């Protein structure tokens, strides 16, 4: 085959698709809907991952946690492009007591205003409020409130584990996070009243959507010469990481399965269409069109049709994601209320990623090549005289 | 010259083995208009297909202008057909999704005839078949006679040495059929090509340079005029 003829066959295939409008539309419809549906599903899966992440790291811990930062390190040093917020916390282990009851607890000094602005813990306060700055107030979990049988404004005494130094706090609020790690014994007081102002502190770093924690960790590694330990949510919550990976793998399997079925459908439809128009292929063979050219023409027809359908499918998928975002996401609270990964909100916002945009059309095009082989082989095997005698 | 030597073609069908062509030997000279006559099932189409390389004979040799086409491999045979042979069939000759001009231009592009020469040839042929105004029409917009005229134009567009025509007037009225054959003869003469036509039509055979009559796959008469 002459090199210039591949362009000629592409043009012939294009004319075939355009002028067989209804058939092209009917065959394309299947691909358009499959691509659009899978782009939407991929975006939905990303949205579910985002929601799980937002609910877990957004409740308290952040995407990255910095441990035992020296008092000399300023909070601003952790700001970087892609970092949404850095919260400074000073946590002390100790013992909470009231009358004859004592229970181990960790007291965290926090900036209430910043915590409210960045984390979702405030939404989990069932009674009262965050401790006010400068006042000896404490926010405790419902588990601790039940242990001590305390109400708002009751006084609890905190004893430091190391020095035995004690300080009294009045209960300003009671929360229930729904996460055992938080509810077990974490309490909060204003940062400026914590009895350890020069102690090392921990940082909760919150990232913008789509920013990889590893990229920020690399910046911190370059920025801090002293031995400071940072951990991303992925190493802190391996269960969640695996769940997200599992979801991504499931999505890939679904994409392959759907397009496997769609490809078979397209191949069958094309075979029917080609059998109906077999005489035209016989005439082309009689004109001296080689088997290779004939096969190329059929494969180009199938791939070109899929290419056009994929473009329309991508557009439809993007519009569907955009439409759902405009409607305020999909509220699945009724199905997530007992799930710790959705402790704050069950609203899912589908989000398009590079993967969700290219994977469905790429797999569709790959399968379309396979879908073209069967009809091409069917025509290639038949001799012109047989076709002309047959039809 | 087209030289057939002891051609035999047998098919296996539901009725057992069918001897479509039996020991046919013929010489048709270059530039001739040869008509093959015979009843339905006498082997006319099979013989045409064998001469054009669409069908491979079970036995015998076929030489088209010195090329032993029954010995060519598939790719070389396709290239031979593309360059030197034009076919016109009884019906359904055109590609339904190409316009009349595009149908005529197809063999030209396949033979590397592009650009201005291609455009001019298409235009000349459209004028020749009196369908210049229908250049952009699709086949379903034409009558049966018009379709056959376009088929004829397409078959000779690339100036083949050999034009094989299988009962082109079978679905046409007498006037359209006569006009078509006259047109074919004129276009063929202009390009100096050999025409072999299978037909039932006495009017057509009367105009032929050579008349071959087949019966049950065998040549029963061969007459030069």
DSSP-assigned letters across all residues of A135-177: S-EEEEEHHHHHHHT--TT-EEEEEETTT--EEEEEEEEEE--
CA distance B54 to chain A (A): 5
Q: Are strands A166-175 and A137-141 parallel, antiparallel or unpaired?
A: parallel
| DSSP state letters, A65-100 | EEEEE-TTS-GGGG--TTEEEEEEEEEEEEEEEETT
Mutate to test the interface with B, among A18, A273, A288, A291 (most CBs of B within 10 A): A288
Mutate to test the interface with A, among B9, B69, B81, B83 (most CBs of A within 10 A): B81
Per-residue pLDDT of A74-84, as tens digits, reads 888 899 999 99
Residue of A nearest to B160 (CA): A287
Give the confidence band of B118 by pLDDT, cuts at 50, 70, 90: very high
- Spatial CA neighbour of A32 closest among A373, A364, A336: A364
Q: Which residues of B173-209 are buried (b: 16+ CB within 10 A; e: fewer)?
A: eeebbbbbbebbbebbeeeebbbbbbbebeebbeebb
What are the residues whose beta carbons fall under 8 Å from the beta carbon of B141, sequence distance 6 or more? B134
Facing B82 at nearest CB: one of A288, A383, A385 = A288
CA distance B130 to chain A (A): 23
Tokens linked to B61: 């040799």
- Mean pLDDT of the A55-65 span: 87
Q: What is the pTM of this model?
A: 0.72
Contact assessment for residue A207 and residue A216, using Cβ atoms and an 8 Å cutoff: yes
Interchain pair A286, B79: CB under 8 A? no
Interchain pair B110, A277: CB under 8 A? no
Tokens linked to B78: 């396709």
Q: How far apart, in Å, are the Cα atoms of B2 and each of A312, B6, B32, B225?
A: 54, 13, 10, 17
- Mean pLDDT of the A290-311 span: 88
Residue of A nearest to B88 (CA): A283
Interchain pair A288, B110: CB under 8 A? yes
| DSSP state letters, A244-265 | HHHHHHHHHHHHHHHHHHHHHH
Contacts of A13 in chain B (CB under 8 A): none
Contacts of A16 in chain B (CB under 8 A): 97
- Spatial CA neighbour of A176 closest among A186, A168, A166: A186
- Has residue B92 got a pLDDT over 70? no
- Has residue A178 got a pLDDT over 60? yes
3-state per-residue secondary structure call for chain B: CEEEEEEEEEEEECCEEEEEEEEEEEEECCCCEEEEECCCCCCHHHHHHHHHCCCCCCEEEEEECCEEHHHCCHHHHHHHHHHHEEEECCCCCCCCCCCHHHHHHHHHHHCCCCHHHHHHHHHHHHHHCCCHHHCCCCHHHCCHHHHHHHHHHHHHCCCCCEEEEECCCCCCCHHHHHHHHHHHHHHHHHHCCEEEEECCCHHHHHHCCEEEEEECCEEEEEEEC
Question: Does B156 reach chain A within 8 Å, measured CB to CB?
Answer: no
Give the confidence band of A157 by pLDDT, cuts at 50, 70, 90: very high
- Spatial CA neighbour of B25 closest among B46, B8, B11, B41: B8
Per-residue pLDDT of A144-154, as tens digits, reads 999 999 999 99
CA distance A307 to chain B (A): 20
Q: What pLDDT does A315 receive?
A: 95
Q: What pLDDT does A173 receive?
A: 95
Interchain pair A289, B52: CB under 8 A? no
Per-residue pLDDT of B20-62, as tens digits, reads 899 999 999 988 899 999 988 889 999 999 999 998 999 999 9
Facing B74 at nearest CB: one of A12, A284, A291 = A291
Average pLDDT value for chain A: 86
Mutate to test the interface with A, among B97, B103, B148, B154 (most CBs of A within 10 A): B97
- Mean pLDDT of the A339-363 span: 82
Q: What pLDDT does B138 receive?
A: 95
Domains of chain B: 2-224 (3.40.50.300)
CA distance B79 to chain A (A): 6
Per-residue pLDDT of B164-208, as tens digits, reads 998 887 766 777 777 777 777 776 777 778 999 998 888 788 888
Question: Does A338 reach chain B within 8 Å, measured CB to CB?
Answer: no
Residue of A nearest to B56 (CA): A385
Tokens linked to A337: 């209320």
- Mean pLDDT of the B213-218 span: 92
């Amino acid at each position: 085959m002459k090199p210039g003829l591949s362009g000629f066959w592409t043009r012939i295939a294009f004319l075939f698709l355009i002028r067989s409008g209804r058939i092209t539309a009917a065959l394309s419809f299947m691909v358009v809907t499959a691509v659009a549906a899978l782009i939407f599903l991929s975006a939905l899966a990303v949205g579910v991952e985002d929601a799980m992440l937002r609910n877990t790291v957004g409740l308290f811990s952040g995407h990255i946690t910095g441990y035992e930062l020296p008092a000399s390190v300023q909070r601003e040093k952790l700001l970087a492009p892609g970092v949404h917020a850095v919260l400074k916390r000073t946590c002390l282990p100790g013992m909470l007591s009231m009358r004859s009851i004592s229970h181990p607890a960790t007291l965290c000094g926090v900036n209430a205003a910043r915590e409210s602005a960045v984390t979702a813990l405030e939404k989990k306060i069932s009674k009262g409020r965050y401790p006010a700055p400068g006042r000896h107030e404490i926010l405790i979990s419902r588990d601790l409130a039940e242990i001590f049988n305390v109400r708002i404004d009751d006084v609890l005494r905190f004893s430091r584990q190391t020095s035995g130094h004690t300080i009294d706090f009045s209960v300003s609020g009671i929360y229930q996070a729904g996460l055992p790690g938080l509810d077990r014994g974490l309490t909060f007081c204003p940062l400026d009243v914590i009895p350890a102002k020069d102690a090392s502190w921990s940082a909760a770093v919150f990232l913008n959507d789509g920013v990889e924690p590893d990229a920020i960790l690399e910046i911190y590694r370059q920025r801090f010469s002293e031995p400071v330990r940072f951990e991303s949510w992925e190493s802190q919550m391996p269960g969640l990481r695996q769940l997200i990976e599992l979801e991504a793998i499931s999505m890939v399997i679904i994409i392959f399965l759907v397009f496997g079925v769609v490809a078979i459908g397209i191949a069958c439809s094309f075979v029917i269409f080609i059998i109906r128009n077999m005489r035209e292929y016989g005439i082309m063979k009689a004109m001296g069109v080689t088997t290779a050219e004939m096969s190329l023409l059929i494969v180009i027809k199938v791939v070109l049709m899929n290419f056009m359908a994929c473009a329309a499918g991508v557009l439809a998928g993007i519009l569907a994601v955009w439409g759902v975002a405009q409607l305020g996401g999909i509220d699945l609270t009724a199905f997530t209320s007992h799930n710790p990964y959705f402790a704050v909100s069950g609203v899912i916002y589908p989000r398009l990623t590079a993967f969700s945009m290219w994977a469905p059309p790429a797999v569709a095009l790959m399968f379309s090549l396979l879908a073209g082989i069967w009809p091409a082989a069917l025509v290639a095997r038949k001799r012109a005289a047989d076709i002309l005698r047959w039809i | 010259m087209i030289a057939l030597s002891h051609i035999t073609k047998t098919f296996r069908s539901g009725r057992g083995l069918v001897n479509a062509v039996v020991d046919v030997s013929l010489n048709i000279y270059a530039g001739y208009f040869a008509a093959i006559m015979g009843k339905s099932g006498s082997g006319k189409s099979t013989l045409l297909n064998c001469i054009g390389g669409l069908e491979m004979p079970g036995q015998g040799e076929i030489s088209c202008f010195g090329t032993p086409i029954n010995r060519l491999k598939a790719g070389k045979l396709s290239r031979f057909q593309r360059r030197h042979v034009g076919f016109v069939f009884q019906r359904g000759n055109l590609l339904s999704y190409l316009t009349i001009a595009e149908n005529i231009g197809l063999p030209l592009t396949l033979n590397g005839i592009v650009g201005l020469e291609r455009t001019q040839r298409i235009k000349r042929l459209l004028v020749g078949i009196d369908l210049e105004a229908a250049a952009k029409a699709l086949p379903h917009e034409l009558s049966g006679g018009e379709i056959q005229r376009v088929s004829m134009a397409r078959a000779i567009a690339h100036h083949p040495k050999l034009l094989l025509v299988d009962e082109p007037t079978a679905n046409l009225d007498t006037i359209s059929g006569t006009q078509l054959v006259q047109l074919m003869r004129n276009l063929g003469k202009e390009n100096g090509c050999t025409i072999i036509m299978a037909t039932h039509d006495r009017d057509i055979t009367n105009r032929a340079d050579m008349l071959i009559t087949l019966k049950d796959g065998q040549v029963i008469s061969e007459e030069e005029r």
